[in-house]
Amino acid sequence: MAASLARLVVLTVALAPGLAAAGLLDALDGGSEPRREFLPPDQAFVFDHDVGADGRLALHWRIAPDYYLYRDKFKLEALTPGSAVALPSLPPGETKDDPEFGPVQIYREDIAFVAPVDYAAGPTEIRVSWQGCAEDGICYPPIKKTLSLVPPAAAGLAAALPARPAASAAAASERSEADTIAADLAGSGLAGIVASFLGFGLLLALTPCVFPMIPILSGIIVGSRERIGSLRGFVLSAVYVLAMAGTYAVAGLAAGLFGRNLQAAFQHPAVLIGTAALFVVLALSMFGFFALQLPPAWQTRLERSSRVGHGGSLPGVALMGGLSALIVGPCVAPPLAGALIYLTRQGDPVTGGLALFALGLGMGVPLLVVGASAGRLLPRAGQWLERIKYAFGVVSLGMAIWFLSRLLPPPLTLALWAMLLIGSAMFLGALEPLHEAATGWQRLWKSFGLAFLCYGAVLIVGAAAGADDVFRPLAPLTASSETRPVGGERAFTPVKGVPGFEQALAGAEAAGKPVLLDFYADWCIECKHLERNTFADPGVRAALTSFALLRADVTADDAADRALLARFELFGPPAVLLFDEAGRELRPHRLIGYAGPRDFLARLRRAYGE
Amino acid sequence: MKRVAQLALVVALGAVAAGAGYWLQHRGAASRPAGAVSSVLDASVADLNGTPRRLDEWRGKLVVLNFWATWCPPCLKEMPAFVRLQRRYGERGLQFVGIALDTREDVAKFVQEHGIDFPILAGEDDVARYMLRLGNTIGALPFTVVVDRDGAVRHTHQGEWPEAEAERIISGLLDRPAS
């Protein structure tokens, strides 16, 4: 029975990503794209500018074949009071005979001119606008860009800082996964929204993200003192799922109300510590130190009032359900970010709450199945029941360590993992002699125990040596020229807020470098994985040698950080954004969440078309 | 045997869930059931007096939303064809609605000079956003969307829409009764 359960879980885990990927990827591709025959305006008319040593503003447009710009639609306007800019007399263009407008002057291929600027007020903001059409029958609305110019004397190297206007409607032609979800959702009414989120939830339920919840729920059900039937199991899991959905609903509500960085709020130290403590308590209960239940007085009162029955306490189950929603939060980051972007745009807390509630329900469906089948799918009695309880206890302790790892110094985290492994090894009888008549199972368990023991010992060594990666505990000892070239580690340049970023971007643009912008925070575990596994990978490092590497550390979550996140419509780290040499974001290729070195390299290749 | 049944159950549930999710994601693209689609016309744009008009108001007809502007020559070029089609098929339930990405003054002048006799609305950022929502990701004009009597998008066209093609598609959809 245990074996069949294990096989079942393995099978489901193995199948789920495939099934989910089929649906998700397709959904992310966005089936309803229009025909893409025409270029987005920024590609039809590629604009750049420069400030000469004499302070004059040089403007240049590269026009794609079969596209043209109107001569009389160029406009220049000084936005800074006191400053002025003049549109020079433009060179004559090609005359195009338009049936509606009569003869008009247009430019093809290339147009450049130089405009005098009066910097009376020092740094000056200038708005440039232009307008054009494609030969075969479309026209673009006037395109406006605001440039921040510094008078050359003050600027030293005459570096102009191009201020990029916040995502214009045109920029939306390039969309990342999260955007596509937001766009997909944008077309539906409330009923449609709720149905869509339910569907998303079902899809998410098939990703491995939800699987950490199954042992927790099973633990609650197994942990109850008596045998429970399907009905009881179903009620318990329903409470669990409802609480989980309720937590998401609160997030949706908050997204609708505030549109703030929710993930950051969830990862506040107090929340982390509290959650970790709860997992420890749960683990102790699993190890049989006590039965998890309310004080007898409360319990009787509750029982009298609810009459739902006995076994796992419903409020306890609800609490675990709520916390579980937070556990899988980072794992389902990209779709959740898409959903939240959409909901903050809606600005309607009721829609937000309902939608995410539906999402939670969808994710809970498999859990309901597990719960309802409590009598059959889950083990009932015997020695191995205790073993499974212990296993859940170990998993719970692991969860606690995982939460704490965001707060603790890495070597200390390593030491905790070591303790957990060694403790588990002892309970598996790693150092106890086997009987001659020991069964295969007993030998197998002892092997596992010994493996845990060894790895635990290695972790202790690593912790003492100051290692920070559970999967490479000996890195500080084995550090050779291969893994850590002396001084060869390329550091990220820190950027702060929108102005800091714009400045760094302009610098990279001047140097003709593509840019990688990494959003990072100390509490963001995925960010650390990215740094350790992906950015440290020799292949990735080699691919990034020509890049300007920028890092926005948003740990503080202050106004400047939030402004930068909002600038890119992000909710929080982890996020890695890529920009081409001209400083334009390659939005379809932005990464939200974690990607391993191989995925990341593939992403880079797609983004830069090598 | 029981184990096999359990496995089959889990696999079947997984498949159903994936299928349901897939369907939910795709129905928007292919056939939009009535509940979800009211939203295509669920928008309002000001008319030339500045009064907001809900596009739902033309629901039940075959609505052709034509996005245009006075500064867009190809838009102006196709306009007379749309006026003709409206006159020819109006009685059978065709309703052109022109939505200009332009200033009200310029639009009003043009409409008066050219005798356009179907409703014309105008706006700037709101129109650009609405257009984006309808799938015009590059924001260029003209852009034309055909919405059937049930509120489902049946056809979109970027660029000048040849009169013959427009007529073929419109008359085809007019012949189909509302479901």
pLDDT in tens, A497-506: 888 898 888 8
Record the pTM.
Answer: 0.38
Pick the range with the lowest mean pLDDT from A67-71, A97-101, A156-160: A156-160
Is residue A74 within 8 A of residue A129, CB to CB? The reply is yes
Q: Tell me what ipTM this predicted complex has.
A: 0.70
Predicted confidence at residue B62, as pLDDT, reads: 92
pLDDT band at A193 (very low <50, low <70, confident <90, very high): confident
Do the chains contact at B158 and A369, CB–CB below 8 Å?
Answer: no
Predicted confidence at residue B4, as pLDDT, reads: 54
Q: What is the pLDDT of residues A401-414, one digit of tens each?
A: 877 877 788 888 89
Q: Residue A46: beta bridge partners?
A: A62
Compute the nearest-CA separation of A137 from chain B (Å).
Answer: 5
Do the chains contact at B21 and A33, CB–CB below 8 Å?
Answer: no
Give Cα A575 distance to the centre of its chain.
Answer: 6
Report the mean per-residue pLDDT for chain A: 72
Better pLDDT: A535 or A374: A535
Q: In terms of CA atoms, which chain A residue is nearest residue B36?
A: A192
Please give the backbone phi and psi of residue B39, each rounded to the nearest 5 degrees, phi first: -70, -20
Do the chains contact at B137 and A377, CB–CB below 8 Å?
Answer: no
Whether the predicted pLDDT of A366 surpasses 80:
no
The reply to whether B42 touches chain A by the CB within 8 Å rule is yes
Sign of CA pseudo-dihedral A381, A386, A387, A388: positive
Predicted confidence at residue A550, as pLDDT, reads: 92
Whether the predicted pLDDT of A156 surpasses 50:
no
Do the chains contact at A4 and B77, CB–CB below 8 Å?
Answer: no
For residue A8, give the DSSP letter: H
Of A39, A42, A64, A52, residue with least CA distance to A130: A42
Residue to mutate among B11, B24, B40, with most A CBs inside 10 A, is: B24
pLDDT band at A121 (very low <50, low <70, confident <90, very high): low
Give every strand in the sheet of A493-495, ordered side by side: A493-495, A548-553, A515-520, A575-579, A591-592
Pick the range with the lowest mean pLDDT from A24-38, A77-91, A376-390: A24-38
Pick the range with the lowest mean pLDDT from A162-166, A453-457, A468-472: A162-166
Do the chains contact at A99 and B73, CB–CB below 8 Å?
Answer: yes
Q: What is the pLDDT of residues B101-124, one digit of tens each?
A: 988 888 998 888 888 889 999 998
Do the chains contact at A139 and B42, CB–CB below 8 Å?
Answer: no
pLDDT band at A49 (very low <50, low <70, confident <90, very high): confident
For residue A467, give the DSSP letter: -
Beta-carbon pairs below 8 A across chains A and B: 182
Predicted confidence at residue B39, as pLDDT, reads: 66
Do the chains contact at B22 and A37, CB–CB below 8 Å?
Answer: no
Is residue A420 within 8 A of residue A283, CB to CB? The reply is no
Q: CA end-to-end span of chain B, whole Å?
A: 47
Query: What DSSP element (H or E) covers A182?
Result: helix A177-186
The reply to whether A206 touches chain B by the CB within 8 Å rule is yes
Predicted confidence at residue B145, as pLDDT, reads: 93
Better pLDDT: A22 or A341: A341
Helix axes A177-186, A333-346, angle to 10 degrees: 40
Is residue B24 within 8 A of residue A196, CB to CB? The reply is yes
Predicted confidence at residue A199, as pLDDT, reads: 83
The reply to whether B17 touches chain A by the CB within 8 Å rule is yes
Predicted confidence at residue A454, as pLDDT, reads: 93
Whether the predicted pLDDT of A584 surpasses 80:
yes
Better pLDDT: A268 or A527: A527
Sign of CA pseudo-dihedral A32, A37, A38, A42: positive
Do the chains contact at A101 and B73, CB–CB below 8 Å?
Answer: yes
Those residues with Cβ within 8 angstroms of residue B160's Cβ, 6 or more apart along the chain or in another chain: A137, A138, B74, B77, B78, B142
Do the chains contact at A195 and B139, CB–CB below 8 Å?
Answer: no
Do the chains contact at B40 and A4, CB–CB below 8 Å?
Answer: no
Q: In this prediction, what percent of chain A has a pLDDT beyond 90?
A: 6
With contacts defined as CB-CB under 8 Å, which chain B residues touch A136? 159
Those residues with Cβ within 8 angstroms of residue A275's Cβ, 6 or more apart along the chain or in another chain: A323, A326, A400, A403
Q: What is the pLDDT of residues A473-499, one digit of tens each?
A: 887 776 544 444 333 456 788 888 888
Is residue A317 within 8 A of residue A212, CB to CB? The reply is no
Strands (E), chain B: 44-46, 52-54, 62-68, 94-101, 120-123, 143-147, 153-158
Do the chains contact at A37 and B159, CB–CB below 8 Å?
Answer: yes
Of A202, A228, A207, residue with least CA distance to A217: A228
For residue A535, give the DSSP letter: I
With contacts defined as CB-CB under 8 Å, which chain A residues touch B6? 4, 8, 376-377
Angle formed at CA B92 by CA B86 and CA B98, multiple of 5 degrees: 30
Angle formed at CA A183 by CA A563 and CA A578, multiple of 5 degrees: 50
Whether the predicted pLDDT of A315 surpasses 70:
yes
Better pLDDT: B176 or A362: A362
Most confident of A562-571, B35-44, B45-54: B45-54
Do the chains contact at B14 and A19, CB–CB below 8 Å?
Answer: yes
Q: Residue A94: beta bridge partners?
A: A106
Task: List B residues 46-105 in contact with A (Cβ-Cβ < 8 A).
Answer: 69, 71-77, 101
Do the chains contact at A23 and B35, CB–CB below 8 Å?
Answer: no
With contacts defined as CB-CB under 8 Å, which chain B residues touch A378? none
Q: Which of A15, A26, A189 sits opposite B11 (nearest CB)?
A: A15
How far apart are alpha carbons A35 and A580 in whole angstroms?
Answer: 25
Residue pointed to by tokens 């794209």: A33
Strands (E), A101-242: 102-107, 110-115, 117-118, 124-130, 132-134, 138-139, 143-149
Predicted confidence at residue A418, as pLDDT, reads: 93
Predicted confidence at residue B82, as pLDDT, reads: 93
Task: List A residues 332-391 in contact with B (Cβ-Cβ < 8 A).
Answer: 362, 365-366, 369, 376-377
How far apart are alpha carbons A180 and A154 in whole angstroms?
Answer: 43
Of A133, A145, A139, residue with least CA distance to A63: A133
Q: CA end-to-end span of chain A, whole Å?
A: 52
Strands (E), A52-163: 57-63, 67-70, 75-78, 84-85, 94-98, 102-107, 110-115, 117-118, 124-130, 132-134, 138-139, 143-149
Residue pointed to by tokens 């699993």: A286
Predicted confidence at residue A15, as pLDDT, reads: 39
Whether the predicted pLDDT of B78 surpasses 50:
yes
Whether the predicted pLDDT of B98 surpasses 90:
yes
- Would you mind telling me the total number of residues written for chain A in this entry? 610
Whether the predicted pLDDT of B79 surpasses 60:
yes
Q: How far is CA A180 from CA A32, A186, A564, A603, B133, in A?
A: 11, 10, 21, 17, 11
The reply to whether A182 touches chain B by the CB within 8 Å rule is no
How far apart are alpha carbons B112 and B95 in whole angstroms?
Answer: 19
How far apart are alpha carbons B39 and A21 in whole angstroms?
Answer: 28
SS (H, E, C) A475-512: HHHHCCCCCCCCCCCCCCEEECHHHHHHHHHHHHHHCC
Q: Which of A32, A183, A202 sits opposite B17 (nearest CB)?
A: A202
